[in-house]
Structure 1
Amino acid sequence: MMDEKKIASEILEAVGGPSNISHLEHCSTRLRFTLVKDEIVDAEKIKKIPGVLGVNQTAQTQIIIGNAVIEVYNELQEMIKGKTAKSEEKKNQKLSAVVLDFVISIFQPLIPAIAGGGILKSVLMLLNLVGVLDKTTSTYQILTFVGDAPLYFLPMLVAITTANKMKVNNLVAVSAIGGLLIPGLTTMLAEGTSLFGLSLQNINYAYQVFPAILCTISYAYLERFFTKISPKVIRNFFVPMMSLLIVVPLTLFVLGPIGFTFGQGFASVIMAIFARFGWIAVALLAAFLPFMVVTGMHKAMIPYVITSLGETGKELIYNAASLAHNIAESGACFAVTLRSKDKEMKATAVSAAISALFGITEPALYGVTILHKRVLYSVMLGSLIGGATVGLLGVEAYVAVGPGLASLSMFISDELPRNLMNAVIGLVVSFAASFIAAFILWKEPVDEMEKSESTKNENELVFNAPLEGKVLPLTEVKDDVFSSKMLGDGVAIVPTKGELFSPIDGVIEMVYSTKHALGLKAVDGVEILFHIGIDTVNLEGKYFNSFVTEGQKVSQGELLLSFDLEKIVAEGFDPTTMIVVTNPKNVKLTVGKQEEVNKELPLFAIDRLGMEN
C-alpha cells in the first residue's frame, strides 16, 4: 500500500528541503515545484522513490506521481507550511523559463473548474439529444448557467491564480476584476461611456484572460508600493482603496484594451496556422505530444485553449490532437500487456493503458512508452494517424479537459451533430493503429545478466544472489574496509529476509566462530567472502545459525546460514551484507541491473579470461 507521507518526506529531502521551495502546486498527475536552486535537486534519488513515476526539470521541477498526487501534495503542504522560500529569494532564471513558470502557475489551477463546468454542459446536451431533458426547460437552462459560470467568470479565477503567484491579496484582486464584470458597467460600455471625460473602449470582459492578468500584475505592484509608504494604522483600508482606485481605471483605459487585443491576436495566430496547414498541423502535434508531455511543454498550450474557448466557445487543434495521443498511449500499452511475458511489465502496462484510455497519460509515458523505443514509435505512429483522422474530420472540442473515454461528451455539439461520432472514429483509429504497431514491434527487453545466461557465455562465471533484498554498490557500504575495496571487489545487499544461500557450487573454506561471516571457494577457484552486517562480530554469534562446516561441498541455492534480521536491527546494527571476491585480485565484475534480488536471480558475473592470481 502506498505511504504518501513517506513519499512526500523523501521528495522534500531530494528537492532540497522547504527553504528551496518558492512555490508548489499540482495537476492531475504531477507535483510542480518552483525552486530557488534547481541544481541541488537529486533527480536520480527522486526516480528511485517507490510511488514516483518520473521527474522532469524545465521551467519547473515536475515530479510525476499518478493518481495519488493529491494525497502526496497534501502531505507536502503540511511539511512545508511556513517554511518555504520568500519570493525575493528566488533564483535568477532565463526569461523563457520565468515566463513558462508564470503561465503554468496561472493557468494550470484553472483546469478543474473549467473542465467541471464544461463537462456539465456537454452532459446536458447529451441528455437533450437522447430526449431525457429538453433544453427549453428551466432546469436545463439553470444548469447550463452553472456549467457556463467558470468560463464567464474566468477573469476572476485568473485574478486569484495570478495574485497567488504574485503573493498578494487575492480577494482585492478579485474585487478589481469584479468591477469590470458588473452588469451595469458592461451595459454602459456597450452603449458608449467615458471616465474623467475620456471615452472608454467597448469591451465585454467576461470570458477574457489577458486583461485580468495585466490588471492583477499591476495591482500587485501597487499593493507593495502603498504597503511600503502607508502608516500601519490605516494600511488595512488605505492600501486596497488606493490600489482599486488606480488599477481599475488603468485597466479600463490601457490594460484592458491591450490584453483584449493580445488575446484575440494570440488565438488568431493559432487559427491561422490551422487554416494554412489544416489536418497536417493536428497530426504533427499529436505525433510530438509524447515529447511535449514528458517535458511539460504541453502546458504552454493552455492559454490558447482557454482563450479560444472563451472567445469562440470551441477549440480545433490541441484537444483533437490530445485525443489521438491519449488513446494511442492506451492502445500501445494494451498491446504490451498481451505481448509481454514479464508479470511486472504486464501489471504496469494494463494499469497505464486504462489510465490513458480515460485521458491520464503520464503513467503510460513514464512507465512504458519512454522506456521502450518500440512502444514510443508505435504511439507516435498511432497519434499521427489518429491526429490526421480527427483533423480531416474537423473535430471540435468545447471543454478544456484531458480527452478520453469518460470525457467524450466534450465533443457534443448542437450545431455539428456528427462531431461526437467523428471524435469516436478518431478514437478507434488511434487505438487500432497504435495497438497493431506495438503488437508487431514489441520485443521483450532482456537484462544483461539474463542475456549472458541465455547465451551461456563460457568465459563468464555467473553468481546468483545469496540473499533476498536490495542491491547496493560496495562503495556505498558504511564501512571503509569494504567500501574502499581493500579486501576485493564485490557488491552488497540490504537483506529483507534472514537467509544466506550459496550463489554457486563450491566448498566452504571458512566459518567464523561468531557465524556472522563465512568463506566459499567456487568450483573455478574463485574465493568469496560473505559478511553479514556491519560490526555484527560484536553480537558474538547471537541471532546467527550456521548449517555448514568447513570443507563441506555445497550446491547453488543451498542454505548456508540463517539470522534473525529483526533482532539484529533492533540491537542497532546495520544488516547490510557484503559479498566480496577476495581471490583472484583485480577480477572484472559485471553486476546485474536488478535493484531487488533473490536466490533465483543472477547477481554478478566474473570474466574467467580476466582472472589474475
Structure 2
Amino acid sequence: MDYAKTASGILDAVGGPGNVTHLEHCSTRLRFTLADTHEVDHARLKAVPGVMGVVGTQPQVVIGNDVVEVHAALTRLTGMGPGHGGAAAAAVGAPADGSRGGWGARVLDFIVGVFQPLIPAIAGAGVLKSLMLLATMFGLSKNGATYNTLVAISDATFFFLPLLVAVTTATKLNTNRLVAVAAVSVLVLPPMTKRMADGTSVFGLAIPNVTYSSQVFPAILAVLLLAVVERFLTRVTPKPVRIFFVPMVGLLVTVPVTLLFLGPLGFRLGTGFTTGVLWVFHTLGWVAFPLLAVALPFIISVGMHKAFIPYVVNQLSTAGYEPLYNPVSLAHNIAESGASFGVALRTKDTEMRSTGVSAGLSALFGITEPALYGITIQNKRALISVLSGAAAGATWLGVTHVTSYVAVGPGLASMSMFINANDPRNIVNAIVGAAIAFVTAFVVAMLTWSDAASATLKVRGVVAANAPANPDRALSPHDVLSPTDGTVVPLSEVSDRVFAGGVLGDGCAVRPTSGEFRSPAAGVVSMLFDTHHAVAVSTDDGVDLLIHVGLDTVRLNGTHFTAYVTKGDRVEAGQLLITADLDAIRADGYDTTTPVVVTNGAAVHVGAVRAGTQVAAGAPLFPVSTRATADVVS
C-alpha cells in the first residue's frame, strides 16, 4: 500500500485538512472529528485504495492492519501531532454543521477516546502476568524475586489505572494533562487512602471511604470537572497570573469535590454498570454466549462494541476476571478467521483470495475489521458462516464457563489471557471453543460460498450483477457469454463489411442497451486498443475473442470510453472491461452495435448463434469448441 497516496485520498474525501478538528486511530480505524460533515464525499472515501469501509457521520475509516502507517501519513499531511486538532481545531469547538451526532454518538465517541488509548498498556501488562502464571505451571516459584518483580509491572498498571485514565480523559477533553494527573493522584496517595480508611473530612464534611485504585469512572468525572473549571478560569483570569492561578484554583475546586461527591458517584457508576452486564450473564447463563456472538458482527460494524470497554476494564481491574465479553469475542474472532480462509479456498478471484488470506490471519490474531468489512458484512454467505461458527464456539465456551483474565483482543497470540493457575481446564476449554468456531465457520464457508452470489465481486464487476447464483446449471462451460445487455444479431446484419463478411472471424453482435461491457469468458486480456473501443481476451480454453464496441468508433480516439483493465490482466467471466457513453457515441453519429468475434477460427468451431433474442450481460451467446472436439462430436 502507498500510505501517502491513501492518506492524501482520504484527506481530500473528508474535506481537506481545514475540515479536520481531531484525528486519532484505534487498532484498525481512523477516527475523524470534522468541522462540517457535509464536506465528506462518502463514495469517494470508500473508493480510496486501502479503505475497507466507512462508518458513522463523523467518519470512522476502516483501514485494517496498516492503520498506524496511514495515520502517520495523515499526521504529516495535516501537521497534527498526538492529541492535537487540525487546522480547523483552533477555529471551532464543535462541528459547524452541528453534526457531532446525538448524545448517544457523542457519549460513545468520548468513551472510545478515553478507553481505547488505555488498551496497549492494559493488554501488555495483562498478557505479561498471564505468561508469568503460565511459567509457574512449569516450575517458576511464585515466591521468587524474578516472579514478583515482573508481576509488579502488571500490578502497578492496574493499581495506578486512575492516573492513566486521567491522561486519556484530559487528552480527549483538551485540558492540561499534568494538572489532571495531579488532581486524580490524590485518590490513590497512600497517606490519603489511610486517612479515608480511618475517617477524615474536608471543610467539615466527611469524606467517604472508597478504594480508588484500579477504578476508572472516578477519574473520568474528576477530569470532566477540572476541564470545565479550567476553561472558565482561563477566560476570566488575567494572563500574567494565569500560569499558576488557573491550575491552583482548578485543583482547589476539583480535588475536594471529587473526594466528597464525584469519586463515590463514579465508584457506584462503575459498580452498577458491571453489575448490570453480569446480571444478564447470570440470568441467561450459557445462552447469553451464542446470543452475543451472533450479534457481535453487527455491533462491531457500527463501532458499538467499544461500549463494552468500560465494563471489561472495570471488571478486570476490580474483580480480576471477565466471564462474558472476552470469551464470546474469542469465538467471533476465530469464526471470522475460519470463514475468511474458507472463502479464500473457494473463490476463483485472486483479489478476493488475497483478501481472505490476509483477513483470516488478522482475525486469527484478534483483529477482525479486515475480515468484517472486506468479506463478512458484504456477503451473506460469508456472514452465515461467521454466525454459525461464532454461535457454535460461544456455546461451548458458555457451557464450560470459560473466563478471561486480561483486557486484550482474543486471538491466537493472546490465548494466555485464559490461563487460570487454579483451573488448567479453563485454557483447554478456550482452545477447544476456538477450534469449534474456526472449523464450523470454515466448513460452512466451503460448502456455501459462490463467487456468482458474492455482492463484493458484483460491485467490483468480477461477476455480472444478474449472473445466476449457480451458473453451472444455466450455462455450458464452453459458452461465450454476452458482454452486455441488448439484442443479439448475426454478423451478416452488421453494417460493416469486415465484420459482416467474417473477415475477422465468426461470432455475432449485440445491439447494446447498457454501457458496461464485460468479459465473455475467463482468461487473459491479450490486447487493448489505445482508444479503448476494443479489447481482446484469450480464454482459458484457448479461444481468442474480440469485443469491438461500436462500428468505426476508433475515430473517436478514446472519447466516451473508459477501460478498467490493461493488457496482460487476468479476468473472470463477467468482469468489467470497458464502459462507454452510448448516447454520446450515437450523438456523434456512430453505430453502437458491438461484434463479439472468435478470431482464431482455424482452431475453434463456433456453434449456433442465438440471434434475435434479448440477452443480459452474462447470458450465453454461442457455444465454442476446438476443431478436434467438434470433429469427434460430428
| TM-score bin (small chain) | 0.7 to 0.9
Rounded Cα–Cα distance in structure 2 between residues aligned with 1:589 and 1:184: 89
Q: CA deviation at 1:497?
A: 8.2
2:436 corresponding residue in structure 1: 429
Q: CA deviation at 1:415?
A: 2.9
Of residues 218, 232, 240, the one that matches 1:211 is 218
CA distance 1:122–1:524, shift in 2 (3 Å): closer
Q: CA deviation at 1:137?
A: 0.8
Rounded Cα–Cα distance in structure 2 between residues aligned with 1:588 and 1:412: 69
State how 1:521-600 maps to structure 2 within 5 Å. 526=551, 528-529=553-554, 531-532=556-557, 582-583=585-586
Contact 1:287 1:387 survives alignment (8 Å): no
2:320 aligned with 1:316: no
1:48 corresponding residue in structure 2: 47
**Aligned amino acid, residue 94 of structure 2:** E
Residue 141 of structure 2 aligns to a residue whose secondary structure is coil
CA distance 1:558–1:439, shift in 2 (3 Å): closer
1:84 corresponding residue in structure 2: 88
**Aligned amino acid, residue 118 of structure 1:** G
How big is each residue's C-alpha offset from its partner over 1:59-92, in whole Å with a ceiling of 9 and x where there is no partner? x411111111111111212222351334523335
1:572 corresponding residue in structure 2: none
1:116 corresponding residue in structure 2: 124
2:629 corresponding residue in structure 1: none
Rounded Cα–Cα distance in structure 2 between residues aligned with 1:432 and 1:52: 29
Residue 34 of structure 1 aligns to a residue whose secondary structure is strand
How big is each residue's C-alpha offset from its partner over 1:247-285, in whole Å with a ceiling of 9 and x where there is no partner? 101100000011111111110011111010011112111
Rounded Cα–Cα distance in structure 2 between residues aligned with 1:185 and 1:134: 34
Of residues 182, 195, 199, the one that matches 2:189 is 182
Rounded Cα–Cα distance in structure 1 between residues aligned with 2:417 and 2:288: 21
Residue 247 of structure 1 aligns to a residue whose secondary structure is helix
Contact 2:488 2:613 survives alignment (8 Å): no
Q: CA deviation at 1:499?
A: 4.0
2:71 corresponding residue in structure 1: 73
Contact 2:343 2:446 survives alignment (8 Å): yes
State how 1:123-522 maps to structure 2 within 5 Å. 123-131=131-139, 133-445=140-452, 447-448=463-464, 451=467, 460=486, 499=530, 503=534
1:33 corresponding residue in structure 2: 32
How big is each residue's C-alpha offset from its partner over 1:544-566, in whole Å with a ceiling of 9 and x where there is no partner? xxxxxxxxxxxxx999xxxxxxx
Unaligned stretches of 5+ residues in structure 1:
464-487, 506-520, 536-556, 560-575, 591-605
Rounded Cα–Cα distance in structure 2 between residues aligned with 1:204 and 1:558: 70
State the identity as a percent. Answer: 46
Rounded Cα–Cα distance in structure 1 between residues aligned with 2:307 and 2:614: 56
2:7 aligned with 1:8: yes
Contact 1:215 1:247 survives alignment (8 Å): yes
Rounded Cα–Cα distance in structure 2 between residues aligned with 1:150 and 1:524: 67
Corresponding pairs, count? 515
How big is each residue's C-alpha offset from its partner over 1:11-59, in whole Å with a ceiling of 9 and x where there is no partner? 111111223223211111111112233333111111111111111115x
Contact 1:332 1:438 survives alignment (8 Å): yes
Rounded Cα–Cα distance in structure 1 between residues aligned with 2:13 and 2:612: 37
What's the RMSD between the two structures over aligned residues? Answer: 3.4
Residue 134 of structure 1 aligns to a residue whose secondary structure is coil
Q: CA deviation at 1:181?
A: 1.1
Rounded Cα–Cα distance in structure 1 between residues aligned with 2:47 and 2:433: 37
Q: CA deviation at 1:449?
A: 7.5
Unaligned stretches of 5+ residues in structure 2:
81-85, 454-462, 490-512, 519-526, 537-545, 561-565, 569-577, 595-610, 616-634
Residue 260 of structure 2 aligns to a residue whose secondary structure is helix
Tell which deviates more after alignment, 496-505 or 43-52: 496-505
Contact 1:176 1:244 survives alignment (8 Å): yes
After TM superposition, the score normalised by the length of structure 2 is 0.75
Contact 2:533 2:558 survives alignment (8 Å): no
Contact 1:309 1:399 survives alignment (8 Å): yes
CA distance 1:257–1:607, shift in 2 (3 Å): farther
Rounded Cα–Cα distance in structure 2 between residues aligned with 1:9 and 1:247: 43
2:108 corresponding residue in structure 1: 100
Q: CA deviation at 1:235?
A: 0.8
Rounded Cα–Cα distance in structure 1 between residues aligned with 2:176 and 2:251: 12
Tell which deviates more after alignment, 521-530 or 150-159: 521-530
1:599 corresponding residue in structure 2: none
How big is each residue's C-alpha offset from its partner over 1:448-478, in whole Å with a ceiling of 9 and x where there is no partner? 1794995657784799xxxxxxxxxxxxxxx
Residue 414 of structure 1 aligns to a residue whose secondary structure is coil
1:567 corresponding residue in structure 2: none
Residue 61 of structure 2 aligns to a residue whose secondary structure is strand
Contact 1:460 1:607 survives alignment (8 Å): no
How big is each residue's C-alpha offset from its partner over 1:467-494, in whole Å with a ceiling of 9 and x where there is no partner? xxxxxxxxxxxxxxxxxxxxx995799x
1:602 corresponding residue in structure 2: none
Residue 96 of structure 1 aligns to a residue whose secondary structure is helix
Residue 49 of structure 1 aligns to a residue whose secondary structure is coil
